C-alpha cells in the first residue's frame, strides 16, 4: 500500500459558502473515529436484527484524491508546445516554475495565486491553456498523476474492516474515465474488489454533478444505509442532507468550484483522513 505525505501548505479554494458556514467544532481525528464507531454500531445492529447494508460515501477528485498533479502535468505539456510559445514565451517559462500544491481550482485562480506576470497576450494564453487542459483532464490518460490525500487509503480500509462498504460517488463519467479510475483505485490500494467497494460514475459527461449525485443517492437510499458523506463541493451537501438527513456530512477542505451552494443543518470540516 502506497502513502504520500500531506502538504500543509497546499493552496485551497475560497467560496462564500465556506466563509459563512458554521462548521461543527470537532477535531478531525475524533470525528473520523466517531464515524467509524457509528459504522460498527450500525453493522452490529444489522447482524442482530437485519436491515440494509451499511455504507460510507466518498467523493474522488479533491477529496480522497489530490488532482493538482494531474493539472500540473497538463499545463506543463501545454507550455512545451509550439502554439504556447508562439503566444508568449515568458508565460511558458512562468508555467515551468509552477508547483502542484500551489494550484487552485481554476486556471485563473492559479494564475492569481502564483503571480502570473503581466503580458499583453495573457488572456489568449489562458484561453488556449484551458482548451488544452479540458481535453486532457477529463480522460483516462492522465489519471496516473493523481495521488491519494493523506490517510484516505487507510481510512477507507478501516471503514470496510468495520463491516461497511466504501462507496466512491464521483462526478467523473464512465465512458471517458471509468477504466482509468478503477485502475487507480486498485493501484493505490483503495478497497474496491470483492464487495468491499462500489464505484458510481456518471453515464455521460454532460450530466450535472449534483443532479447525478442526487439521482444516485435516491437509489442508494432504497438499498442501503449511509452513515457519512465526504465531499469537497459545497453544492453537493444539500443533496446529501435531503437523501440521508441523519448521516454525518463532512466537507473536505481543498479545492472546489464557485457553484452556488445552500446551507445544511449540521456539517463538519476536515483537511485529511489521518487518525
CA distance 15 to 38: 30
Which residues, 6 or more positions from 141, have their beta carbon under 8 angstroms from its beta carbon? 180
CA distance 242 to 218: 10
Q: Where are the alpha helices (DSSP H) in 50-173?
A: 68-79, 82-87, 89-96, 107-113, 122-137, 152-161
Joined together, the cell numbers standing for residue 140 give 483516462
pLDDT range class, residue 238, cuts 50, 70, 90: very high
For residue 149, is it left (φ>0), alpha (ψ between -120 and 50) or beta?
beta
The torsion angles phi and psi of 173, rounded to 5 degrees, stand at: -100, 145
**Whole-number Cα distances in Å, 238 to 206, 207, 243, 251:** 21, 18, 9, 12
Task: Round the average pLDDT of the chain to a whole number and report it.
Answer: 94
In this predicted structure, what is the pLDDT of residue 123?
95
Mean predicted confidence (pLDDT) in 220-238: 96
In this predicted structure, what is the pLDDT of residue 9?
64
Judged against a pLDDT cut of 80, whether residue 194 lies above it is answered with yes
First to last CA, the chain: 17
The tens digit of pLDDT for each residue in 132-171 reads 999 999 999 999 999 999 999 999 999 999 999 999 999 9
Mean predicted confidence (pLDDT) in 212-240: 95
Sign of the torsion angle spanned by Cα atoms 97, 100, 101, 105: positive
CA distance 14 to 253: 10
pLDDT range class, residue 14, cuts 50, 70, 90: confident
Judged against a pLDDT cut of 90, whether residue 80 lies above it is answered with yes
In this predicted structure, what is the pLDDT of residue 3?
40
Pair 207, 201: CB distance under 8 Å: no
Does residue 74 or residue 5 have the better pLDDT?
Answer: 74
pLDDT range class, residue 11, cuts 50, 70, 90: confident
Amino acid at each position: 500500500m502506497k502513502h504520500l505525505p500531506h502538504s500543509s501548505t497546499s493552496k485551497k479554494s475560497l467560496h462564500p459558502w465556506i466563509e459563512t458556514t458554521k462548521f461543527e467544532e470537532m477535531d478531525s481525528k475524533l470525528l473520523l473515529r466517531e464515524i467509524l464507531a457509528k459504522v460498527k454500531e450500525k453493522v452490529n445492529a444489522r447482524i442482530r436484527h437485519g436491515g440494509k447494508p451499511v455504507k460510507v460515501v466518498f467523493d474522488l477528485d479533491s477529496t480522497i484524491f489530490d488532482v493538482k498533479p494531474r493539472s500540473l502535468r497538463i499545463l506543463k505539456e501545454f507550455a512545451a508546445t509550439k502554439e504556447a510559445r508562439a503566444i508568449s514565451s515568458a508565460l511558458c517559462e512562468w508555467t515551468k516554475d509552477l508547483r502542484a500544491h500551489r494550484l487552485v481550482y481554476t486556471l485563473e485562480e492559479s494564475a492569481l495565486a502564483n503571480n502570473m506576470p503581466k503580458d499583453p497576450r495573457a488572456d489568449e494564453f489562458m484561453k488556449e491553456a484551458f482548451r488544452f487542459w479540458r481535453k486532457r483532464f477529463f480522460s483516462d490518460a492522465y489519471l496516473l498523476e493523481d495521488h491519494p490525500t493523506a490517510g484516505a487509503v487507510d481510512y477507507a480500509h478501516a471503514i470496510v474492516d468495520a463491516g461497511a462498504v466504501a462507496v466512491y460517488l464521483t462526478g467523473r463519467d464512465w465512458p471517458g474515465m471509468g477504466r482509468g479510475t478503477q485502475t487507480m483505485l486498485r493501484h493505490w490500494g483503495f478497497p474496491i474488489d470483492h464487495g468491499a467497494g462500489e464505484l458510481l460514475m456518471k453515464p455521460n459527461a454532460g450530466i450535472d454533478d449534483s443532479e447525478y449525485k442526487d439521482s444516485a443517492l435516491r437509489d442508494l437510499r432504497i438499498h442501503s444505509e449511509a452513515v457519512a458523506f465526504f465531499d469537497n463541493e459545497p453544492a453537493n451537501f444539500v443533496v446529501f442532507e435531503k437523501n440521508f438527513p441523519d448521516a454525518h456530512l463532512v466537507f473536505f477542505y481543498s479545492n472546489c468550484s464557485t457553484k452556488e451552494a445552500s446551507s445544511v443543518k449540521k456539517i463538519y470540516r476536515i483537511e485529511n483522513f489521518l487518525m
